[in-house]
Amino acid sequence: MSRSNPRVLATLERAGGFASAQEVYQLMQREGERIGLTTVYRSLQSLLNDKIVDLLHREDGEAIYRLCGESHHHHLVCKSCGDTVEIEGGAIEKWANSMAQEHGFREVGHTAEIFGLCSKC
Amino acid sequence: MSRSNPRVLATLERAGGFASAQEVYQLMQREGERIGLTTVYRSLQSLLNDKIVDLLHREDGEAIYRLCGESHHHHLVCKSCGDTVEIEGGAIEKWANSMAQEHGFREVGHTAEIFGLCSKC
DNA sequence: GCATAAATGAAAATGATTGTCATTTTCATA
DNA sequence: TATGAAAATGACAATCATTTTCATTTATGC
Please report the sign of the dihedral spanned by the C-alpha atoms of residue A4, residue A34, residue A15, residue A10: positive
Predicted confidence at residue B9, as pLDDT, reads 92
CATH number belonging to domain A73-116:
3.30.1490.190
First to last CA, chain A: 50
Residue numbers of chain B with a pLDDT score lower than 50: 1-2
Query: What pLDDT does A72 receive?
Result: 75
**Residues whose CB falls within 8 Å of the CB of residue A16, separated by 6 or more in sequence, listed in order:** none
Name the residue ranges covered by the structural domains of chain A: 6-67, 73-116
pLDDT > 70: percent of chain B: 92
Please state which CATH number belongs to domain B6-67: 1.10.10.10
Instruction: Write the CATH number of the domain with boundaries B74-116.
Output: 3.30.1490.190
Cβ–Cβ gap B108/A119 under 8 Å: no
> Residue A3 — very low, low, confident or very high, per pLDDT cuts 50/70/90?
confident
pLDDT at position A90 = 81
- Cβ–Cβ below 8 Å for A76 and B105: yes
Whose C1' is closest to the CA of A34: which nucleotide?
Answer: C9
Helix/strand/coil (H/E/C) assignment for every residue in chain A = CCCCCHHHHHHHHHCCCEEEHHHHHHHHHHCCCCCCHHHHHHHHHHHHHCCCEEEEECCCCCEEEEECCCCCEEEEEECCCCCEEEEECHHHHHHHHHHHHHCCCEEEEEEEEEEEECCCC
Dihedral sign from CA coordinates of B79, B84, B87, B89: positive
Question: Would the pLDDT of A38 be above 70?
Answer: yes
- Taking residues A87-94, what's their average pLDDT? 83
Closest-CA distance, A79 to chain B, in angstroms, reads: 9
pLDDT band of A121, cuts 50, 70, 90? confident
Rg (CA), chain A: 16
pLDDT at residue A81, as a whole number: 67
Is A57 within 7 A of strand C by CB distance? no
Query: Which pLDDT value is given to residue A39?
Result: 96
CB pairs under 8 A between A and B: 105
Query: Averaged over A11-31, what is the pLDDT?
Result: 92
Mean pLDDT in residue range A34-57: 92
Inform me whether the pLDDT recorded for A44 exceeds 60.
yes
